[in-house]
């Protein structure tokens, strides 16, 4: 077992409310107890075939970019079918020897559908219109679930929940990237 400290960081949160999905991600990347970067951009817009998808990732950046490229190819092969593309990606991720080594998780949405994709072959549709991944994911998820009982819109819920996670999790900061997408 290596004594090399692991990379930590990332909180990605998605909130669906009022016909919109907001995906928010913090900007911190840490190595052990050191903050390496505070302004990483872990939420991105993809536009394969003209239909927009928003994706957020947690884990190894290179691994996540590999998965995002694969997702784009799956979306190009299955235009307008996010669920099918997500299932195909998860299937490949689980069975391909190269992809099995990738250490990342994804949250993806087209504004209507919302999924968490894992290397274990999971394509999870969240309950309660909220999902989160990463080091501070559970803190952001709990905060967002509580805020869903308020009158706040999706972006306000996401921003407040991420602020709460940043106050609790040392691997999460308040430097956010926020992307919003409406139901098609």
Please list the active-site residues. 10
Distance of alpha carbon 173 from alpha carbon 10, whole angstroms: 8
DSSP state letter for 132? E
The residues with which 14 forms a beta bridge, in sequence order, are 23, 131
- Name the residue with tokens 């107890």: 33
In 116-153, where does DSSP find H-type helix?
A: 137-147
Question: b/e map of 35-59 (b: 16 or more CB within 10 Å)?
Answer: eeeeebebbbebebeeebbbbbbbb
């Amino acid at each position: 077992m290596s004594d090399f400290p692991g990379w930590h960081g990332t909180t990605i949160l998605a909130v669906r409310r009022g016909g919109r999905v907001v995906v928010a991600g913090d900007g911190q990347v840490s190595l052990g107890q050191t903050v390496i970067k505070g302004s990483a951009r872990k939420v991105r817009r993809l536009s394969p075939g003209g239909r927009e998808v928003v994706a957020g990732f947690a884990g190894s950046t290179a691994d996540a970019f590999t998965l995002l490229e694969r997702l784009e190819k799956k979306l190009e092969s299955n235009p307008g079918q996010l669920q099918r593309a997500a299932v195909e990606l998860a299937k490949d991720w689980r069975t391909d020897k190269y992809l099995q080594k990738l250490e990342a998780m994804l949250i993806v949405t087209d504004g209507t559908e919302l999924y968490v994709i894992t290397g274990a072959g999971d394509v999870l549709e969240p309950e309660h219109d909220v999902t989160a991944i990463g080091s501070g994911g559970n803190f952001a998820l709990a905060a967002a679930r509580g805020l869903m009982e308020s009158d706040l819109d999706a972006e306000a819920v996401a921003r407040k929940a991420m602020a709460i996670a940043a106050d609790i999790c040392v691997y999460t900061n308040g430097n956010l990237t926020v992307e919003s997408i409406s139901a098609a």
